Structure 1
């Protein structure tokens, strides 16, 4: 898929932007703070309904703006042109497809964007929440019913946590229905996650090993969030006393995690920051490849500040892979990355939130 047109209003320093994008490589160059990353952020919002920047929710709105919006004309694999929009006024997001109101889930199902940016190393070294987001985004694009099940799971989890925080005695029958619900939904979520990881494993091993051959063979490990040898319902009942002390539910699908281990770096603490970034990049490329295998079309690829995140050899390797794939790529930098010289691309200069086409 590719974005033919992108219009942004009221996002950070981008007050009014209207771009016609190339189907291949698009490069956004400018000084730090000019607004380059915000362009990628707008594209990412259409696919995730959140920013890839941590703690960004309240900072998204441009100064003096009362509303932000992102509009795109999306060209899908069958050459179908789809008009998508996402806006926010206050705290609530509103999605539109072909001018009609839509749910966020419907919007996200239509638009797929993956992003490698300076914070991507958190996928390897950060908290489990980041890895669950990565995993669940992939599962959602294989099984769209996942979102509804996940929301039901979150509601049941909230109810059990409310009982715990209220100090409800552990023998109370009020826990039973919610623990039954949590157990059934968690089992379905776990099954979908395992299926997705099995599909992802070959591409992930190949992509990561190509970027980090010195670390030896990679191994993908998954923990579902509760013990494998006992039913979750049974474990939740046994755990009530401890959970009462904590005030939250300590077992379940919301506690799942996965990790990468290497033959010569069995613990993530053995990795340098640069190796963490390359491992995260390998995960992103593997997920994009699997999406393409399943849908017959690559997601839009965003590479933020590529030249400062990767050395030139790795830049060249990634650009070569993506050029061969035919994916639409959006790249930012203070100048044109060296591996892009001589390759077809469209370039935009970004200065104080204003974008000017150069090529």
Structure 2
């Protein structure tokens, strides 16, 4: 998967930029606040429908402008696609090959972007929602029925919670419990299988980035007692859920955690090790995506030099160069270009919102 052309308008402090990223590594260099991260945010938005920096979507629009626009010409296994994303009047508008699509998911399914950025350590140390999203994003791209099953689960969960808060008769909950269990078991099976398939990729990346911690292991918690099936678990918790007014068991409470041979719990990791662990997960996800889909996602690494020391930078870049993936990196200073092929490397200078190719 490769972005051939990228245009962005009114994204934070970038009024307009048009560029052709390299098929290998594109490096965006400039001072803090110059607009480097805005380029990566634009690419990320095409794949996730949001920024990795802020949940406030309106803050992405340049001050004084009433909209933002991102366009990319993409080449992937299915051929070339033209993708467009705009935000105006408080909502997104998405286009694929010039055709406006009714669902943002149709656009997001066309491009996969994996991003490591200063907040990525939340994947290890943050709330369980971060870890569920990490898995569910991958399932969106590899399980054709994921969107429909996920929609059914969310709808059943919403209806069940409404009934719980209303205090209605327990009998009315039965039909929603059945639907919640039917769709929830599918989600759980997919998540469990995905994490088991991810583990070999993760073990290789942890050996590269965190060899001092020993072998890693993933522990998955499905969100209900393992000795019960989901429908029985929902029934067993009904009285308690009625008292509390929400559903306390199910895949929406799922989580996973990583442990190492020499650091069994997350609390044993330093902040630097949490970052490296998060990076290992993201690179492993990209590698598994490549194995499952036959093409690499686009990889974005924001402010790499401030997140990794020189030794880890060299290991990561060496690994990336072997993959053939398209990679976009930002930093305040240029990387050591030893090992970069001129034909697959491009440097861009970013200054006061202007993006210029060297």
- Cα distance, 1:245–1:38 mapped onto 2, change above 3 Å: farther
1:342 CA drift (Å): 5.8
CA distance in 1, matches of 2:61, 2:119: 21
Give the match for residue 329 of structure 2: 331
Give the match for residue 155 of structure 1: 155
Give the match for residue 247 of structure 1: 245
Once the two structures are superposed, residues 190-223 of structure 1 have per-residue CA deviations (whole angstroms, 9 ceiling, x without a partner) of 1111121121111111112221111011001101
1:231 CA drift (Å): 2.1
- Cα distance, 1:337–1:92 mapped onto 2, change above 3 Å: same
1:69 CA drift (Å): 1.7
Give the match for residue 105 of structure 2: 105
Give the match for residue 11 of structure 1: 11
Unpaired runs of 5+ residues, structure 1, are: none
Once the two structures are superposed, residues 228-265 of structure 1 have per-residue CA deviations (whole angstroms, 9 ceiling, x without a partner) of 11122222222223223333211111111111100111
Give the match for residue 212 of structure 1: 210
- Cα distance, 1:91–1:175 mapped onto 2, change above 3 Å: farther
| 8 Å CA contact 1:306, 1:337 repeated in 2 | no
Give the match for residue 87 of structure 1: 86
1:267 CA drift (Å): 0.7
1:191-230 matches, within 5 Å, as 191-230=189-228
* Bigger mean CA offset, 20-29 vs 171-180: 171-180
1:175 CA drift (Å): 1.3
Give the match for residue 27 of structure 1: 27
Matched, 1:126 2:90: no
| 8 Å CA contact 1:109, 1:144 repeated in 2 | no
* Bigger mean CA offset, 265-274 vs 98-107: 98-107
CA distance in 2, matches of 1:107, 1:120: 24
- Cα distance, 1:245–1:59 mapped onto 2, change above 3 Å: farther
| 8 Å CA contact 1:190, 1:253 repeated in 2 | yes
Give the match for residue 234 of structure 2: 236
Give the 3-state SS of the residue equivalent to 2:356 in structure 1: strand
Give the match for residue 291 of structure 1: 289
Give the 3-state SS of the residue equivalent to 1:277 in structure 2: helix
Give the match for residue 164 of structure 1: 164
* Bigger mean CA offset, 185-194 vs 92-101: 92-101
CA distance in 1, matches of 2:155, 2:225: 22
CA distance in 2, matches of 1:297, 1:128: 29
1:275 CA drift (Å): 0.3
TM-score (normalizing by structure 1): 0.95
CA distance in 2, matches of 1:161, 1:270: 37
CA distance in 2, matches of 1:214, 1:36: 33
Give the match for residue 314 of structure 2: 316
1:55 CA drift (Å): 2.8
* Bigger mean CA offset, 23-32 vs 57-66: 57-66
Give the match for residue 280 of structure 1: 278
Give the 3-state SS of the residue equivalent to 1:193 in structure 2: helix
CA distance in 2, matches of 1:152, 1:95: 24
- Cα distance, 1:210–1:341 mapped onto 2, change above 3 Å: closer
| 8 Å CA contact 2:67, 2:88 repeated in 1 | yes
Give the match for residue 57 of structure 1: 57
* Bigger mean CA offset, 84-93 vs 29-38: 84-93
TM-score (normalizing by structure 2): 0.95
Once the two structures are superposed, residues 98-146 of structure 1 have per-residue CA deviations (whole angstroms, 9 ceiling, x without a partner) of 0112222221221011001100111111111111111011112111320
1:30 CA drift (Å): 0.9
Unpaired runs of 5+ residues, structure 2, are: none
